[in-house]
């Protein structure tokens, strides 16, 4: 049985109804359900749904919706239909098609609101689901016949700028359709001005000004009521030469022509001379700036095209922003003329005189920028920095605009420098130079002292151990006060000597294993004591004046024996298990107070609390942990001291009494 024929009309009606219901519910779940229920090829169903969505949009436009929310809701629905469904129930291009239809049919004020939606969702357009499918649609919609050509560059300047910024955010820097690779100029940007001297009103204007000045009484208009006119006499020749320069800024290639260059040189010298002779006052420029801000409600005043009326010439020469604009055009032109551009013709080369004039004029332009208020120094520094940075972009374009994102291939991965592998006989000492390299000069020297190191280690000459008198002879001599050897110069202060002395004492001297009550701060102090003992025992070494320190040991031993006869043994002084049970029962829940005086850490206290919930057991665990940590120092005396410090004086006295009873 053959499959049923796909009915385009019926399916489109179902999709249209489902789309309207999805718009009312603001979710595409119902649309996805209907799409899955309809049988047929996926491609046919997607195409039908695309047509249904365009049909719904057409109905909305016919109804002449005054709000853009209905249009945007449908576009949001198409985006969800592409992203939320597993494989997408409509084409990835349908959101862009709907946007193009809306922008074609709406007036410019509503297009502004629709484009705000496009700007906010730039991250969506750059995602993998939409970028490949929609980049050409967006480029044609913004920069082609759809939107940008409907706008006036003089009246819709901000809107045009927003479109250009959106395209810059959407596409990478190396996107070729957005690059001017051949450095072409906008030759359509023609500045229109009066080129007929017969129609000029500059002479008539000066006469009218004189008559008006005679009619105004003295003191009737102050300085704050009218802008200060330019003090430079303005005639038609200055007006014509000034605005003729815009043609060279529009098309810099003319400067490479000999006759055109002479005209540009003459007109530029006169224009810059006017700027140099008429310097703007900082207060005057600040006042004009404040007036412009008040006139625009705080916004920045900007015009896409110059106003070339003869009546405005004197005011323009007094305007700091206008002057900066002209001077900046000079710097941009000079940078192009001097720079290396890939697509320049071979005939576009400056001679020495032209290069010298450009260098001198560049210095003059920067000087005029610094003298132009407000903040002329900062502005000139910023312009110089920007133009220097522009050189990097010129070099990048000359190289063909390579992408800034570089993927590292396996061939480009850094490789370790290859070294010629040594033959085994070379590093095993069997080559022409029988020398084994150990990686270190000192180790190499030691290893190569003998041809056969194993036999050298078995040599009878290595089986020796110095005697105590030979090894400690120098130390005993230095210990004698008669020799007056300072402590820092004694051999016992040498760590290497001390290490060998300990090894020798452990093999030769019985003093090494004898216990002593003396405490030594360093190895050198211990060796001093041992040297004194050895000096007394060893023959042929004078030791009468060397203090051995044995007297102190004997005294300490006698005192220790005396104390041991009068006091209980070590076992009797250690806290017993019975005593700990008694104290734990008395402490109870107050065991944490004693824990801090027993120097128990917070982690140990938490572990005790986790081991048992009974407070008596916790107190016993505390004492057991303390006993295990202190070992032989876990005495009754130390515990009684901690109890007294913690405020348990009665328990401390009871513990002392138990010891007295034992005695």
C-alpha closest to that of 317 among 259, 233, 191: 233
pLDDT the model gives residue 568: 43
Checking if the pLDDT of 555 tops 60, the result is: no
Q: How far apart are CA 45 and CA 31, in angstroms?
A: 12
**What is the Cβ-side half-sphere exposure of residue 228, based on CA atoms within 13 angstroms?**
17
Q: Phi and psi dihedrals of 416, rounded to 5? A: -70, 145
More confident residue, 394 or 86: 394
Q: How far apart are CA 470 and CA 477, in angstroms?
A: 12
pLDDT the model gives residue 386: 94
pLDDT the model gives residue 421: 58
212-259 pLDDT, tens per residue?
544 444 444 444 444 455 566 788 999 999 999 999 999 999 999 999
571-593 pLDDT, tens per residue?
446 778 788 888 888 888 888 88
Q: What is the mean pLDDT of residues 16-25?
A: 89
417-420 contacts at long range (C-beta below 8 A, 24 or more positions apart): none
User: Could you give the percent of the chain with pLDDT greater than 70?
Assistant: 78
Structure pTM? 0.50
User: Could you give the percent of the chain with pLDDT greater than 90?
Assistant: 19
154-174 pLDDT, tens per residue?
788 888 889 889 988 888 887
pLDDT the model gives residue 220: 43
627 sits in the region (left: phi over 0; alpha: psi -120 to 50; else beta) called: alpha
- If you average pLDDT over every residue of the chain, what do you get? 79
Checking if the pLDDT of 203 tops 80, the result is: no
Q: What is the mean pLDDT of residues 597-617?
A: 83
pLDDT the model gives residue 366: 96
pLDDT the model gives residue 540: 55
The full set of domain ranges for the chain reads 8-174, 236-289+300-399, 428-462, 468-537, 577-661
633-656 pLDDT, tens per residue?
788 888 888 888 888 888 888 777
Q: What is the CATH number of domain 577-661?
A: 1.10.533.10
Q: Distance between alpha carbon 508 and the CA centroid of its chain, in Å?
A: 66
28-32, 295-299, 358-362, 435-439, range with greatest mean pLDDT: 358-362
The runs of H, that is alpha helices, within 509-614 are 523-537, 550-566, 570-573, 577-587, 591-597, 602-611
pLDDT the model gives residue 567: 42
């Amino acid at each position: 049985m053959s499959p049923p024929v796909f009915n385009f009309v019926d399916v489109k009606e179902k999709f249209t109804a489902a789309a309207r219901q999805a718009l009312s519910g603001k979710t595409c779940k119902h649309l996805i359900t209907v799409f899955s229920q309809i049988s047929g090829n996926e491609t046919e169903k997607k195409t039908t749904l695309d047509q249904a969505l365009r049909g719904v949009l057409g109905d909305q436009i016919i109804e002449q919706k005054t709000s853009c929310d209905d249009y945007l809701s449908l576009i949001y629905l198409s985006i969800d239909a592409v992203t939320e469904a597993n494989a997408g129930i409509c084409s990835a291009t349908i959101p862009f098609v709907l946007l193009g239809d809306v922008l074609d049919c709406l007036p410019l004020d509503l297009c502004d609101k629709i484009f705000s939606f496009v700007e906010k969702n730039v991250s969506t357009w750059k995602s993998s689901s939409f970028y490949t499918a929609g980049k050409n649609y967006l480029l044609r919609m913004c920069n082609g016949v759809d939107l940008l050509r409907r706008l006036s560059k003089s009246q819709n300047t901000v809107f045009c700028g927003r479109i250009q910024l959106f395209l810059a955010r959407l596409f990478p820097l190396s996107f070729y359709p957005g690059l001017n690779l051949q450095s072409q100029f906008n030759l359509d940007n023609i500045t229109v001005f009066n080129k007929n001297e017969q129609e000029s009103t500059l002479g008539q204007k000066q006469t009218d000004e004189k008559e008006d000045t005679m009619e105004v009484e003295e003191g009737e208009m102050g300085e704050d009521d009218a802008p200060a006119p330019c003090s430079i006499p303005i005639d038609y020749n200055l007006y014509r030469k000034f605005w003729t320069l815009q043609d060279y800024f529009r098309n810099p290639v003319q400067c490479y022509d000999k006759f055109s260059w002479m005209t540009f040189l003459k007109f530029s010298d006169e224009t810059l001379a006017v700027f140099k002779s008429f310097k703007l006052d900082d207060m005057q420029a600040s006042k004009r700036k404040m007036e412009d801000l008040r006139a625009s409600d705080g916004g920045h005043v900007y015009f896409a095209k110059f106003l070339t009326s003869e009546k405005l010439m004197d005011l323009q020469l007094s305007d700091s922003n206008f002057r900066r604009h002209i001077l900046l055009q000079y710097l941009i032109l000079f940078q192009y003329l001097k720079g290396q551009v890939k697509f320049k013709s071979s005939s576009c080369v400056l001679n020495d005189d032209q290069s010298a004039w450009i260098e001198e004029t560049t210095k003059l332009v920067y000087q005029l920028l610094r003298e132009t208020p407000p903040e002329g120094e900062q502005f000139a520094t910023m312009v110089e920095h920007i133009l220097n940075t522009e050189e990097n972009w010129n070099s990048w374009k000359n190289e063909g605009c390579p992408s800034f994102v570089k993927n590292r291939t396996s061939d480009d991965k850094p490789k370790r420098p290859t070294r010629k592998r040594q033959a085994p006989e070379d590093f095993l000492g069997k080559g022409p130079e029988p020398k084994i390299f150990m990686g270190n000069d000192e180790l190499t020297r030691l290893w190569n002292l003998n041809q056969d190191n194993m036999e050298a280690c078995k040599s009878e000459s290595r089986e020796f151990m110095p005697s105590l008198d030979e090894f400690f002879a120098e130390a005993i001599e230095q210990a004698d006060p008669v020799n007056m050897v300072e402590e820092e110069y004694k051999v016992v202060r040498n760590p290497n000597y001390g290490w060998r002395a300990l090894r020798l004492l452990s093999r030769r001297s019985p003093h090494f294993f004898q216990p002593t009550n003396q405490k030594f701060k360093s190895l050198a102090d211990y060796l001093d004591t041992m040297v004194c003992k050895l000096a007394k025992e060893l023959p042929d070494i004078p030791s009468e004046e060397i203090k051995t320190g044995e007297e102190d040991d004997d005294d300490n031993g006698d005192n220790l024996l005396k104390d041991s006869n009068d006091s209980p043994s070590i076992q009797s002084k250690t806290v017993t298990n019975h005593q700990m049970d008694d104290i734990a029962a008395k402490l109870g829940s107050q065991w944490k107070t004693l824990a801090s005086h027993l120097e128990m850490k917070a982690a140990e206290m938490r572990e005790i609390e986790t081991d048992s919930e009974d407070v008596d057991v916790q107190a016993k665990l505390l004492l057991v942990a303390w006993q295990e940590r202190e070992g032989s120092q876990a005495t009754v005396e130390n515990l009684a001291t901690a109890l007294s410090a913690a405020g348990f004086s009665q328990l401390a006295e009871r513990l002392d009494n138990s010891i007295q009873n034992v005695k």
